[in-house]
Amino acid sequence: MIGILIGIAVLMILAYRGWSIIWVAPIAAGVVALTGGLDLLDAYAGTYMSGFVDFAKQWFPVFMLGAIFGKLMEDTRMAATIAVTLTKVIGSKRAILGVLLATSVLTYGGVSLFVVVFAVYPLALALFREANLTRRLLPPTIALGAFTFTMAAIPGNPQIQNLIPTTHFNTTAAAGPIMGSVAAIVIAGGGYAYLRWRENQLSSRGEFFTEPKDKQIIDHENDRLPNFFLSIIPLLIVLVTLNLFGWHIIVALITGIVAIMLFNTHRWRKFVTSLNSGASGSVLAIINTSAAVGFGTVVQAVPAFDRLVNSLLSLGGNPLISLAIATNVMAGATGSGSGGIAITLEALGEQYYNLALETGLNPEALHRIATLSGGGLDALPHNGAVITLLVVTGLTHKESYKDIFVVAVLIPIVATVVAIAMASMGLV
């Protein structure tokens, strides 16, 4: 048991220091294997790689198609059109709300979190400049819209974090509509209220907008952007075919990709570049997550794992609580929401599903709690999306992470508690 805890600590500490999880995860798995009495070579070549390959085999098409969909949205300027239109409608006086809505629409429509950061940042910067708001609030605003409720809470979203539980609990992407919607309101409403409070606080201290050191910012004001209504159709196609028609996510994403191409035939010469870039970008994402899952597979193989499972399942009270704790711990350890969800459900999904069938607990509640919990401690300082966000915005952890922590870690955990309370009352 101590070996499992040491392995998780090694994974978390080294990942926090910025070391790639691709090679950190095997080291952490080796610690678990050695302390758990497994043969080191067999644990790596057999157990670890089995978990790694199985996850990649199951989810690589979704990662790849999702990345291609997002890259095409970016390169055809459709993502920029949606962001520009929404921010103009909201106006510069409500810059935080405008950025929040733009990021939320893109993320809920299936655009990759990383693509959203790059697509929205130039527009967000222009809005904050016009409203004279300090740039240190830019990262938490984008994080709130892209990394939280649209990814984990709102039912029906096509992000990978919301899809992984479907294979373990026999649910759909729209699982837990009531508890998920309420959790989304808690996260979005609480986060927005906090950011407005911080805006007033920082303004009263005399902190206002300052130009970034790198002023090579894309200006969409005079660009010829695609039509807004055409731009939003691919997002709607993915959402409608996935949730209303019940199509498989792979088919839904392919349909969305085809729609983007049909609406931008004049850009056909650039399609191959976008396809190549999206596909290449998806490889690193799937390998990172698969590495984390491989670690979880080794943890499952040691004898102490059964004791750990029994400890979690015997916490007493609502099993949703132990599921939330386990998922948050794994998401925090790996710095990945999808990785944390995958590890936890690969290890414990079957036990929780059987427990739900035995006790009458709605599996949809398990789905939504797992997804929400993957969007809690995942956003610790070593999270890849957090690091990318800070690099793109030109800010540091010291300047902005405290606010990111509140909107992307603390408030989502509170929302998870609210969702567990609702599920306990039968409001799923």
Write the DSSP symbol of residue 205: T
**H or E element that contains 206:** none
Q: Look up the pTM and report it.
A: 0.82
DSSP string, 226-284: PPHHHHHHHHHHHHHHHHTS---HHHHHHHHHHHHHHHTGGGGGGHHHHHHHHHHHHHH
Rounded distance between C-alpha atoms, residue 158 and residue 150, angstroms = 10
pLDDT at 347: 83
**Along the chain (428 residues), what's the average pLDDT of each consecutive run of 10 residues?**
86 77 91 93 94 90 89 88 83 86 91 80 82 94 95 94 96 97 97 97 93 60 78 92 91 95 93 93 84 86 80 75 91 82 89 91 97 93 80 86 96 97 94
CA distances for 262 relative to 83, 93, 255, 269, angstroms: 21, 37, 11, 13
Rounded distance between C-alpha atoms, residue 197 and residue 203, angstroms = 10
Rounded distance between C-alpha atoms, residue 310 and residue 328, angstroms = 18
Check: CB of residue 56 under 8 Å from CB of residue 91: no
pLDDT at 352: 93
Rounded distance between C-alpha atoms, residue 373 and residue 370, angstroms = 5
b or e along 210-225 (b: 16 or more beta carbons within 10 Å of the residue's beta carbon)?
eebeeeeeeebeeeeb
Please report where in the chains the tokens 């080191």 appear, as a residue: 40
Write the DSSP symbol of residue 218: -
262: Cβ contacts below 8 Å, ≥ 6 apart? none
271: Cβ contacts below 8 Å, ≥ 6 apart? 72, 261
Residue 9 has which token pair? 């600590």
CA distances for 311 relative to 133, 222, 288, 305, 315, angstroms: 48, 60, 28, 10, 6
CA angle 169, 170, 173 (to 5 degrees): 90
CA distances for 139 relative to 218, 261, 406, angstroms: 18, 31, 12
